[in-house]
Amino acid sequence: MASMAETNEADGRYLISLNKISKDRFLNVGPLKPENDQLIDISGESMVLLKDESAYIEPHDIILVRRDIIEPHVVDRVRLEEHPEAVTQSSITRDGNRVTVR
């Protein structure tokens, strides 16, 4: 899906690729094979892969919208670092046979 593709302001700058077949690229998560998303810059002479990561859930559809359109409508942001059980610094704690990795 190209950026702003479902509007009359389509700019053709970015492309999101929702890949369902990415076997052997990421670790299996149970019986399912992981999928991945790719963010590609298509504004120049050649395509540039900007981000390539495993998808949290199975990809089906996406709408890529500019930030200046969304930002005025944001009511609350999730700030995981403010959660009481948030891990803000990695550590390894050993207590006898028990090891806690954060």
Q: Tokens for 91?
A: 């550590």
Whether the CB-CB separation of 28 and 54 falls below 8 Å is answered with no
Q: Tokens for 65?
A: 């919208």
Whether the CB-CB separation of 18 and 35 falls below 8 Å is answered with yes
pTM above 0.85, yes or no: no
Closest to 14 in 3D by CA, of 66, 59, 53: 66
The mean per-residue pLDDT over the stretch 57-81 comes to 80
- What are the beta bridge partners of residue 101? 92
The model's pLDDT over 27-64, given as tens digits with 9 standing for 90+, comes to 776 777 777 888 999 999 999 999 988 876 666 778 88
